[in-house]
Amino acid sequence: MILSISFHFDFYPILIVAAIAWLVPMTMSLLRLNKIPAVIVEIILGFFVGKYLLASANEVSIHILDFFALTGFVFLMFMSGLEIDVSKILASFPRKRLNVSRFLKNPLLVGIASFIITLALSWIAAGFLSGMADIKSNWYFALIMVTTSVGIILPILKNRSEIGTRFGQMIIIAAAVADVLSIILFTFTAYVLKNGFQWEILLILGLFAAFYLFYRIGLRFNKNKLFNKITFQLAHAASQISVRGTILLILIFVVLSQYIDEEVILLGAFLGGLLLSIFLHKERSLLMLKLDGMSFGFFIPVFFIMVGVEFDPAALKEFDSSLGWFLILLLVTLFAVKVIPSMLWGRLFGYKKAISAGFLMSSRLSLIIAASAIGQDLGVISAGVNACFILMAVTTCFLSPTIYNLLNKTDILAGGKTIIIGGSSTGVLLARRLSIHGFTPVIVEKHEKRCIEIKAKGIHVFRGDGLDQELYTKLKLSDSNYVVVETNSNELNLRICELLRKELQHEKIISRAGNRSIEESLKAINVETIDARRVLATTIENLIIRPTTYHTLVESFENFSVEEIAITNTKLDGLQLMEVPFHRDAILMMIKRDDKLYIPHGETYFKMGDIIHVFGTNTALGETRKKLHG
């Protein structure tokens, strides 16, 4: 058999879709519309492209785009499973006798209770809405409404530095529970609606058996030194073995699902992601970057663009004059079924904050679109209702985060923050880099126009004069806050540092020394100084002597960095390095003990107070920080 490659295929439709996938995030970034989910714009543009640019495309090209869209949907479900931190869910299992107080403090139990209440409310609401629309299964309609979007919730909480808080964990686990349970219920319901109650429905349980089987196999491979060695050697070579293994895992579960029924693919892809999540835990470093590149770089945008291409506004005509009322009632219902159960958090966090969480949980995206499309194929909802759910997905993705931020305003000045005096390009760059590490930077800028420019970049900015002593009261300056003084004037830098040091007795001050005189004056008041000339000379030296290393560190800053971590975990005191299992993407470069530096080896002993210089990914550094801090 000879491989035959035809060059007569029409690449124009794929070019159009790829262009939209590239242009949307670029344009939104230029227009500073980063708070609007890009998928909303992709769906909207997909509709116009389908109507005007792809209307004359041949069936083969559209069929291939549909295949790419289906692949994007599979990746979307897989990545949804990968987003769920199974270890946090397992850690929430109750281990003591339950009472009301312990129940309300347990994120897993509250998440399950919230899901059950949401499902009950959705079923009641479906019965009411069925009088206005063609709904043949109130139960399936209710399942569509209980969905949520972890992909929308996580970035919002991350941007507000709430992921690690108790409140943030409550929301994340509740969203994860809603995802897991709704996907399982969807799968069984869709199968029954299509095939009726048959013994073959038990085959779906075979997927869970396969999940457990691969979990046990994975545990064996994870402990096999030869397997780990080969995987490490081939992970970044041309073979990209980790990516190939991930694709293999996805396809195993997808193919197994197809043998049961096509509607089961949703569950299969999700379980594949969940399985990989168990083994990665938080080691979602380079492999995650590669998977994000494949999925969110191409396949997933194609899915959402094709949702827009296939959106049929003519289907809405089935409502006649009742369309407006149906959309309003559906939107109110979608919010109500999430907000009412969120009251369970009221005693812990206050009812205003609990209600804000309910609105954030109301954001729906991929799962509601997929479930609605499957429902239309099964004939349990009409094309008009499906179109309404697509509109609701777009609406809730936009409104839910906005309402959440309005109801749950954060005080960025409270707690840990880094104050940067001066809104220069250096200050803005520093703020961005600190944000990547999870710090909260606040820039102080005197000029109003520059404040507006900085704020448009998504950076916290406070208008004020660094020489105004009252400013630091307004900023709630505390002893733990670093203050970086970086104005365009060396003399002004010195005056601000003198105010901070002498009048406010603040100790954590960093500033730039423009010349020898300024440097000596800053050192005289114990200000940490940066000599720009030496930094520039060091940079040029690195470019000449070690250019590859320098470029690698600078260009991969968002993925790799160096951090100093002090050992405060008493359990590590006296242990050897070989006895402590560190994250495999973390490299211990140096140990500082008192005033001496050591290169760590397997036999090196740890002592309390040691400062460890660690190189690695942000995820690896986070895990290492937890281990060293205990």
Q: Give the pLDDT confidence of 7-55 residue by residue, as tens digits.
A: 677 888 889 988 998 988 888 877 767 667 777 888 889 888 888 888 8
pLDDT of 5 reads 59
pLDDT of 558 reads 53
pLDDT band at 284 (very low <50, low <70, confident <90, very high): very low
Q: Let me know whether 504 and 577 are in one domain.
A: no
* Whether pLDDT at 282 is above 50: no
Kindly give the interhelix angle for 150-159 and 383-407, rounded to the nearest 10 degrees: 20
Burial 127-164 (b: 16+ CB within 10 A, else e): eebeeebebebbebbbbbbbbbbbbbbbebbebbbbbe
* Beta-bridge partner residues of 614: 563, 588
Please report which residue ranges of 319-443 form alpha helices under DSSP H.
323-339, 346-349, 351-361, 366-378, 383-407, 425-436
Q: Let me know whether 364 and 387 are in one domain.
A: yes
pLDDT, mean of residues 171-180: 84
pLDDT of 236 reads 63
Question: What three-state secondary structure class fits 224?
Answer: coil
pLDDT of 321 reads 78
* Beta-bridge partner residues of 561: 616
Tokens for 178? Answer: 């809603």
CB 307, CB 79: distance < 8 Å? no
pLDDT of 365 reads 78
Q: In Å, how far from its chain's centre is CA 571?
A: 32
Pairing between β-strand 611-617 and β-strand 560-566 as defined by DSSP bridges: antiparallel
CB 456, CB 522: distance < 8 Å? no
Q: What amino acid is encoded at 493 in this protein?
A: N
Q: Taking the model in full, what pTM does it have?
A: 0.68
pLDDT of 331 reads 92
Question: In this structure, is residue 5 part of a structural domain?
Answer: no
Question: In this structure, is residue 374 part of a structural domain?
Answer: yes
Element (H, E) at 531: strand 528-531
> Residue 412's closest CA among 35, 168, 160, 163?
160
State the sign of the Cα–Cα–Cα–Cα dihedral 559, 564, 568, 569: positive
pLDDT of 234 reads 67
pLDDT of 285 reads 54
Question: In this structure, is residue 553 part of a structural domain?
Answer: no
Q: Let me know whether 565 and 529 are in one domain.
A: no
* Whether pLDDT at 243 is above 60: yes
CB 145, CB 126: distance < 8 Å? yes
Domain with 591 in it = 559-629
Q: Which residue has the higher pLDDT, 247 or 579?
A: 247
pLDDT band at 329 (very low <50, low <70, confident <90, very high): very high
What CATH number did the domain enclosing 20 receive?
Answer: 1.20.1530.20
In order of 82, 90, 146, 367, 551, the CA distances from 179 in angstroms are 12, 16, 9, 8, 41
Tokens for 12? Answer: 């124009």
What CATH number did the domain enclosing 423 receive?
Answer: 3.40.50.720
Question: In this structure, is residue 549 part of a structural domain?
Answer: no
Question: In this structure, is residue 551 part of a structural domain?
Answer: no
Q: What is the 3-state secondary structure (H, E, C) of 130-157?
A: CCCCCECCHHHHHHHHCCCCHHHHHHHH
pLDDT, mean of residues 504-532: 84
Question: In this structure, is residue 547 part of a structural domain?
Answer: no
pLDDT per residue as tens digits for the range 553-583: 665 555 567 778 888 888 888 888 777 877 7
Q: Which residue has the higher pLDDT, 1 or 358?
A: 358
* Whether pLDDT at 350 is above 70: yes
Cα separation, 580 vs 628, in Å, equals 10
Cα separation, 287 vs 292, in Å, equals 8
Most trustworthy range by pLDDT among 80-94, 367-381, 403-417: 367-381
Q: Let me know whether 434 and 389 are in one domain.
A: no
What CATH number did the domain enclosing 601 receive?
Answer: 3.30.70.1450
Q: Let me know whether 533 and 384 are in one domain.
A: no
Q: Could you please report the per-residue DSSP string of 51-78?
A: HHTSTT--HHHHHHHHHHHHHHHHHHHH
Q: What amino acid is encoded at 466 in this protein?
A: G
Q: Let me know whether 478 and 590 are in one domain.
A: no
pLDDT of 552 reads 63
Q: Let me know whether 362 and 510 are in one domain.
A: no
Pairing between β-strand 461-463 and β-strand 441-445 as defined by DSSP bridges: parallel
State the sign of the Cα–Cα–Cα–Cα dihedral 401, 407, 412, 416: negative
pLDDT, mean of residues 587-610: 80
Q: Let me know whether 609 and 491 are in one domain.
A: no
Share of the chain above pLDDT 90, in %: 7
pLDDT, mean of residues 608-624: 79
Q: In Å, how far from its chain's centre is CA 50?
A: 30
* Whether pLDDT at 180 is above 80: yes
Q: Let me know whether 236 and 295 are in one domain.
A: yes
CB 173, CB 108: distance < 8 Å? yes
pLDDT band at 1 (very low <50, low <70, confident <90, very high): very low
Question: In this structure, is residue 6 part of a structural domain?
Answer: no
The domain boundary residue, chosen from 339, 374, 406: 406
* Whether pLDDT at 532 is above 60: yes
pLDDT of 555 reads 57
Q: Let me know whether 238 and 353 are in one domain.
A: yes
pLDDT per residue as tens digits for the range 97-136: 777 777 878 888 888 899 999 999 999 999 888 888 878 8
Q: Could you please report the per-residue DSSP string of 577-595?
A: GGGS---TTEEEEEEEETT
pLDDT of 594 reads 77
Q: How many domains does the chain have?
A: 3
CB 80, CB 273: distance < 8 Å? yes
pLDDT band at 283 (very low <50, low <70, confident <90, very high): very low
- Rounded to 5°, angle at Cα 513 from 509 and 518: 100
CB 54, CB 13: distance < 8 Å? yes
pLDDT, mean of residues 530-545: 76
CB 45, CB 24: distance < 8 Å? yes
pLDDT band at 601 (very low <50, low <70, confident <90, very high): confident
- The mean-pLDDT minimum among 212-216, 263-267, 280-284 falls in 280-284
Share of the chain above pLDDT 70, in %: 90
The phi, psi pair for 444, rounded to 5°, reads -105, 120
In order of 52, 376, 458, the CA distances from 11 in angstroms are 17, 30, 38
* Whether pLDDT at 90 is above 90: no
pLDDT of 122 reads 93
Per-chain mean pLDDT for the chain: 82
Question: What three-state secondary structure class fits 128?
Answer: helix
* Whether pLDDT at 336 is above 90: yes
Q: Let me know whether 334 and 436 are in one domain.
A: no
> Residue 263's closest CA among 207, 199, 315, 179?
207
Question: In this structure, is residue 346 part of a structural domain?
Answer: yes
pLDDT per residue as tens digits for the range 386-417: 888 888 888 888 888 888 888 887 666 666 78
Q: Let me know whether 449 and 391 are in one domain.
A: no
**The residue to which tokens 């990968």 are assigned:** 82
